């Protein structure tokens, strides 16, 4: 059933949520709520980019941690995502310069001491395009309205929001979820402040084919300009095996590194990629994206909740940006569901306060941690290198510390939302 809807004047009443932005976290939220409440709750997702479907996410890949994977399982989505998912069974961390003949390994995750349960990968690498395709299909199946339009204006009221869309329609909704990205127009219109800064770095992403099997291993090479990550993808391509790279480089150096022809670009990647996986070739990309850190001063306003990049943007070195967004979707779904089951207003301030309290501390802590790690490792100071390499070696020899770090990254510790624990709403 195709539920894409452009009807002007559609006003389903107070039990209506509108989600602005059709990203992975926001579509997951919409599916979770609609699957849980059925016809008792109207859910609309609006995004002018919906016309392009999942194809606009081509070339991106994400590490889906154990907690979000359990949420997908609970929502019956993981069996459809899993064919595009590659288990990440080991993570090897090294610290060196680009030209060093040897890259000493200081820390390894995946030796069995840090797993939360026997035989369970601590993450899966999933390409964005098939994941979004699954979410769009699931949204249509459960009755989420998908509207190919953006928000032109919104009046936030004490009892409902009146939202006008770029296709000429209007919506009266109990709650607007702003998932419209780091430059969120809804966040700005609500007067919510933003604290953050730009890094003098860009993230370069590409899909690489290689001759040897990665065997589920991920590599994180800390170089003076920033980390260079090789992340395992499903097998395929002319060379038989594939990985995604996330390459952090000084923004000033990006034009010279990527400005040549394909052969010169591949040579720059090979210098950092190393010989472990044999001959390599470019499959998709590379593309460069300026890096930023930012946290909204509040995750809520009257009848408005921020989700995903509209609430927080972090450095990609730990691969936790999407997992933060999915944790936010789980927490907001739980808060809204709790209110609806008690017959309460899903857009009430108390509901949004519960959501913010559930997610703000972890989001700020992850942003601070990734920022600190980037500052510690993205330099060529001998003193800092000796200090950090000693610290990595210490963690590598202490299984309890390794279990702690994996637990934090997997969202499996502390008071996590029920969906992240694999429990129903």
41-50 tens-digit pLDDT:
999 999 999 9
> Distance of alpha carbon 261 from its chain centroid, rounded?
31
* 386-390 contacts, C-beta under 8 A, 24 or more apart: 388/95, 388/222, 389/95, 389/104, 389/106
**Distance of CA 22 to CAs 26, 128, 353, Å?**
6, 13, 24
pLDDT at 114: 47
- Global pTM reads 0.89
- 164 φ, ψ (degrees, to nearest 5): -105, 135
Q: Which residues, 6+ apart, have CB-to-CB distance to 348 below 8 Å?
A: 339
Q: Give pLDDT tens digits for 372-382.
A: 877 777 766 65
Residue found under tokens 């609500």: 190
pLDDT of residue 171: 87
Question: Which pLDDT score, from 0 to 100, does residue 3 have?
Answer: 39
- Closest C-alpha to 43, from 25, 76, 20, 71: 20
pLDDT in the model for residue 95? 76
**Cα 282 to Cα 210, 226, 369, distances in angstroms:** 9, 21, 32
Gap between the Cα atoms of 410 and 402, Å rounded:
12
Low-confidence ranges of the chain (pLDDT < 70): 1-14, 99-107, 111-119, 379-415
Task: Kindly state the helix (H) or strand (E) to which residue 94 belongs, with its residue range.
Answer: strand 90-95
**pLDDT the model gives residue 12:** 39
Taking the C-alpha atoms of residue 150 and residue 370, their distance in angstroms, rounded to an integer, is 32
Contact at 8 Å (CB) between 378 and 200? no
Place of tokens 């890259």: 103
Cβ–Cβ < 8 Å for 403, 10: no
Predicted local distance difference test score (pLDDT) of residue 45: 97
Token representation of residue 240: 């038989």
Report how far residue 27's alpha carbon sits from residue 83's, in angstroms, rounded to the nearest whole number. 19
pLDDT value of position 391: 54
Residue with tokens 């470019």: 282
Q: What are the C-alpha distances in Å from 213 to residues 16, 124, 209, 234?
A: 48, 16, 10, 10
For residue 164, what is the enclosing H or E element? strand 161-165
**Length, in residues, of the chain:** 425
Residue 286, preceding bond cis, omega within 30 degrees?
yes
Q: What is the dihedral of CA 99, 60, 150, 177, to 10 degrees?
A: -90
Nearest residue to 276 (alpha-carbon basis) of 103, 63, 27 = 103
Query: What is the pLDDT, as a whole number, of residue 384?
Result: 58
- Amino acid 382: pLDDT: 58
């Amino acid at each position: 059933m195709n539920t894409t809807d452009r009807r002007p004047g559609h006003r389903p009443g107070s039990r209506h949520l509108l989600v602005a932005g059709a990203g992975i976290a926001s579509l997951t939220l919409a599916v979770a709520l609609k699957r849980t409440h059925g016809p008792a709750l109207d859910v609309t997702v609006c995004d002018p980019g919906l016309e392009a479907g999942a194809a606009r996410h081509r070339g991106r890949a994400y590490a889906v941690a154990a907690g979000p994977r359990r949420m997908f399982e609970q929502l019956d989505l993981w069996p459809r995502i899993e064919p595009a998912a590659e288990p990440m069974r080991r993570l090897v961390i090294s610290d060196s310069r680009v030209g060093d003949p040897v890259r000493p390994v200081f820390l390894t995750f995946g030796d069995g001491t840090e797993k939360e349960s026997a035989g369970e990968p601590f993450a899966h690498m999933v390409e964005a395009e098939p994941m979004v395709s699954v979410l769009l299909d699931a949204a249509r199946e459960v009755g989420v309205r998908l509207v190919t339009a953006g928000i032109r204006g919104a009046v936030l009221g004490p009892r409902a929001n009146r939202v006008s869309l770029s296709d000429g329609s209007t919506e009266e909704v109990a709650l607007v979820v702003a998932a419209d990205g780091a430059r969120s127009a809804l966040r700005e219109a609500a007067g919510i402040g933003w604290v953050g800064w730009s890094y003098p770095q860009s993230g370069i992403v590409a899909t690489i084919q290689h001759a040897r099997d990665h065997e589920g291993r991920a590599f994180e090479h800390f170089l003076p300009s920033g980390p260079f990550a090789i992340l395992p993808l499903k097998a395929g391509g002319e060379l038989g095996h594939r990985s995604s790279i996330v390459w952090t480089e000084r923004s000033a150096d990006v034009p010279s590194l990527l400005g040549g022809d394909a052969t010169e670009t591949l040579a720059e990647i090979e210098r950092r990629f190393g010989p472990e996986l044999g001959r390599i070739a470019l499959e998709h990309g590379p593309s460069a994206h300026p890096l930023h850190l930012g946290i909204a001063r509040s995750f809520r306003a009257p009848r408005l909740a921020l989700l995903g990049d509209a609430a927080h943007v972090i450095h990609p070195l730990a691969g936790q940006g999407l997992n933060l967004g999915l944790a936010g979707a789980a927490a907001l779904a739980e808060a809204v569901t709790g209110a609806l089951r008690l017959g309460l207003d899903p857009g009430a301030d108390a509901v949004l306060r519960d959501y913010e309290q559930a997610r703000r501390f972890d989001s700020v802590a992850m942003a601070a941690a990734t920022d600190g790690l980037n500052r510690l490792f993205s330099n060529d100071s001998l003193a800092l290198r000796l200090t950090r390499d000693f610290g990595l070696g210490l963690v590598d020899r202490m299984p309890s510390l390794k279990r702690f770090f994996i637990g934090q990254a997997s969202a499996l510790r502390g008071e996590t939302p029920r969906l992240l624990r694999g429990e129903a709403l």
